[in-house]
Amino acid sequence: MPVSVVAPVHASHHALCASLCLLLLAMHSGCSDARVRPTFPVAAAQQPVIAEQALLGLSDSGDALAAELLFAEGNAHLSLLVLDAAGGPSRTLSVAPDEIARAVAAQIEAQGSRLAPLLGTLVVSLWPAPVAAARDSYPSLPPNPPASEGLRWTLRGVGALPLNLRLSSTASGPASLLLLLSGSPDGVSDGDEAQLAELPLSGAQVEPQLWMQSGIAWLLAGSVRAGRGPLHRMVGLRRASLTRGEAVLHNQHGLADYGAGELTSAKREFERALEADPRFVDALYNAASVAALESRADDAVALLRRAAEEDRRRVQVLGRNDTDLRGLRQRPDVREILGLARLPPGE
């Protein structure tokens, strides 16, 4: 039977230094087990920690030119990066001299309680040469302004479907900022949404900014914990695929139609999902299931092959006992796709 995606592709791209996140986690939790040797000086918990990124430019394909500052235990590291729009590995273009990194860190520490992104302006001012050298490929673009009613952005999908992006905070559990996508003709979310990105918050929220380019959204957001204790400032970038989000929405609509027995409508929605994102495994598999139920065996096998090219293991787990594919599993080529040496018991 058709399946839904558990978590739409999104979120974290070049997350703020994993080691620094572990450092902060240790600071919050304390040394709960005396047998575990601490991995950082105890005094570090009383020192400022800054992990901030900035988006400095975007290529035509949506790759981001970004700066990243990591400051902990008195050590500062500043680098210029390229973040891949497709979610691939980031590339380091340049690493700032120690004196420049410290100067930028000192400026942010002095202004650290401000609930606005700070790093971008400081990097352009104090470390201009590498940024200028990258400007031809990554021109500076202003953030996309939200709609007048708040933190919402409207856009058009692949099929001119009106889409609505909005930011929301988690209602329960650990505090996080969520980037949500819905299809709504009037720009008002109707509850049918796909989560594209999530960024944890551990203090007062920094004013978020959003850029959209070539089907990719870059969200810059974070939080600041200041006041009585040491400054903890975490501001990071998250990448979100708008085309994958649109595909997830159509896939969800197709699942609802499938559940209601409306195979023609389900087929249309899965096709729309693949129009938005031809590599979306869940939509490929679901379209294959509908094709099998409609006795379009060749179409079903072609779709299964495409799905297996993207994620063979997932297709094999889903398809081995799926009753929708029962007839197709008689075919040797389908058993090869599903990794079956023989038919399941009962078939």
Starting at the edge strand that comes first in sequence, how are the strands of the sheet with 64-72 ordered?
91-95, 75-83, 64-72, 49-58, 232-241, 216-225, 204-213
Q: Is 52 exposed, middle or buried (0-12, 13-18, 19+ CB in 10 A)?
A: buried
Q: Which residue has the tokens 């902060």?
A: 24
- Judge contact between 6 and 327, C-beta under 8 A: no
Return the half-sphere exposure (C-beta side, CA atoms, 13 A cut-off) of residue 120.
19
For residue range 113-128, list pLDDT tens digits in order.
Answer: 999 999 999 999 999 9
Three-state SS string across 209-267, please?
A: EEEEECCEEEEEEEEEECCCCCCEEEEEEEEEEHHHHHHHHHHHHHHHHHHCCCHHHHH
Which amino acid is present at 142?
Answer: P
Measured CA angle at 263 (ends 262, 269), to 5 deg: 95
The residues spanned by each domain of the chain are: 18-145+198-240, 245-338
For residue 12, the model assigns a pLDDT of 39
Q: Which residue, 279, 235, 243, is CA-closest to 62?
A: 243
For residue range 205-238, list pLDDT tens digits in order.
Answer: 999 999 999 999 999 999 999 777 899 999 999 9
Which amino acid is present at 160?
Answer: A
Phi, psi (degrees; rounded to nearest 5) at 297: -60, -45
C-alpha span between 316 and 308 (Å, rounded): 8
Which amino acid is present at 276?
Answer: A
Characterize the bridge pairing of strands 176-183 and 152-156: unpaired
Q: Is 131 helix (H, G, I), strand (E, B) or coil?
A: helix
For residue 342, the model assigns a pLDDT of 75
DSSP code for 43: G
Q: Is 31 helix (H, G, I), strand (E, B) or coil?
A: coil
Distances (CA, A) of 226 to 107, 109, 114, 243: 15, 10, 10, 38
- Judge contact between 195 and 187, C-beta under 8 A: no
Q: Is 20 helix (H, G, I), strand (E, B) or coil?
A: helix
Average model confidence (pLDDT) across the chain: 86
Q: Which residue, 238, 239, 261, 241, is CA-closest to 249?
A: 241
Over its length of 347 residues, how does the chain's per-residue pLDDT go in tens digits?
777 764 444 433 444 444 444 444 433 333 333 333 444 444 556 789 999 999 999 999 999 999 999 999 999 999 999 999 999 999 999 999 999 999 999 999 999 999 999 999 999 999 999 999 999 999 999 999 998 777 889 888 876 678 889 999 988 888 999 999 988 655 455 568 899 999 999 999 999 999 999 999 999 999 999 777 899 999 999 999 999 999 999 999 999 999 999 999 999 999 999 999 999 999 999 999 999 999 999 999 999 999 999 999 999 999 988 999 999 999 999 999 999 887 776 77
Domain 245-338: top CATH class = mainly alpha
DSSP code for 147: P
Measured CA angle at 167 (ends 199, 241), to 5 deg: 70
Distances (CA, A) of 48 to 72, 93, 202, 231, 339: 7, 27, 14, 5, 53
For residue 185, the model assigns a pLDDT of 55
Kindly write down the DSSP assignment for every residue of 276-337, as one continuous string. H-TT-HHHHHHHHHHHHHTT-HHHHHHHHHHHHHHHHHHHHHHHSS-GGGTTGGGSHHHHHH
